[in-house]
Chain A
């Protein structure tokens, strides 16, 4: 079930399963802690995601094939141990879905055969789990959005997506915490600061829940939102 693939001279990826599955998030969370405790001194970075854990290691301290063997043994031991429960924290994030900022809402509506209003209602309907943090500081990968909304990434990524943009790709959704290049379909924008360096930003953690709430233009501007 668990597979480890060597990628470069000093990196590998552990694949815990296929697709997006909330139970994998708990396995990965547990693996991160166990690997850190046992092999932390050999590693330079760990990037947990939905169903994988990317690891960079010190080539001067361990070689890839040896580390893979050690990791497999550790993970097999972990699989036989029970996973503890966890507390759910839910964050409400206001989103303005107006045309000035919803650059791809029309496209998503066309692809899904839904009206703009239906797309917005569906996007706000359920809370989403933080499956991973990455891509840029504080960028949270949230899932899973309703199947009707699933839209592929843009064929050519935009060179700049504005901070606060709320976007979707496949069955995922996210908020861009800062201006950044990106290939996701933009549905709206939040006035809420999201960058971890901003003291007003919510402290989102892997495993938390996020719920989007539609706001109008006036509320967006009153909350400090920018339309440029």
Chain B
């Protein structure tokens, strides 16, 4: 099979090209027919002696078979591009029909001396473009033979020639040997060189096209790899659990690179164990080593997981194909390793940061808790009776200590919140359930003050994707505030409902002391407390509403406050049911 054929068969691109060219050929023929008809019409007036009638017959014949070709094309059009054969046959038929029509045309316009003899070049070029190189050369050879035959016939039998209007300037006079042979050889060379040039150019173009296809395919593959890598990094960015992050990395890395398995080992106290693995058998994971024979692993590549000079561990890729990894792959695999290392380090840093704050909270609270418990013990008479005056002092100590505890708690809470970067919830939060829990939690405090605490939840509250801790901070601070600033026998009402299907409306109203209007602008400033609040209770840090405001800002919510001094306050918070990507379509 010729190279041209192979190329046509192999590449869908060229198959499509053949399909398109076959139709283009039919269209081109209409132009030729129109041109020939126009010329014949003009000649009818200019040279009445010319054989215009046979010419018209020829034109009608070509038009007729072109109509047939058009119908054939319409039928072939629905054939899948992979089926090349019918199009090849169709192209050959067209070329042969045109060759016959052309020869008839030559005969009518002066035989071997027709000035249209030179038009053979178009035929050869078209055959070169449309057919395989072999077919093109066969057609060209055939043309040369026909011309030789025509010359011989005209010379020996005196084939009748049309009138001399069309006398070819190249081939004037009688065709005598050896002059005629010389002319014929030039003609033959002209035809064959044209065929050669056309097929060579076409082949060279196809080779280039093939290379282009290869490059484009390679680009497509690396684009797909990079897209998957991007998705992996995106997924890793949304995680704040180290194990989940490593599992995502090993799973995606194996899928992207097409290897059988992937593992991560971290340099920690469990350094001998796989921290995460994908595609490895339970047995290997348990033994912490790969049984390459049993697993059919033929190649392995391990790369360090490091961020700058900090070595975190290693990531290994296992392939069933021997010599799977080459130098080029190393660049891409290193990219995966670096991105994974960066993800691990980011989570580690976050963990260290939040652990530091958690430990700081613990260390600050420990001595305070001990003092608190000792005071409690004294006050409750565990070490003997306490006088009323002593009890009162101990009570004061307890209150102040508790305030100090609250202050530490709130400060650390704000510190923690401001250092956290990831607030997106991964699990849906049931607000109704959360509020029920908080109401239960605060019920004893309400009972102490004889306050009626009620919770009213609408039935259509959806679960929302948000950081549950943020919602907890928001609700618990507002509930605790309401209970704190409501006198005994008062009322605190909590209500949650949906607003336009996109937002949740949380409302907490109390029959408390109220907020002076002039204090409203300062309400969310750190350590601010209204005069009346200070007078009512010293038990307040001035940080609760700061926490509320910051939580609400992260939740992208809004707040409205209505308050009447001495009658009560109503806080109304509105926040979307999910982060931007998890919003219902209508709410985006």
Q: Are A and B subunits of one complex?
A: no
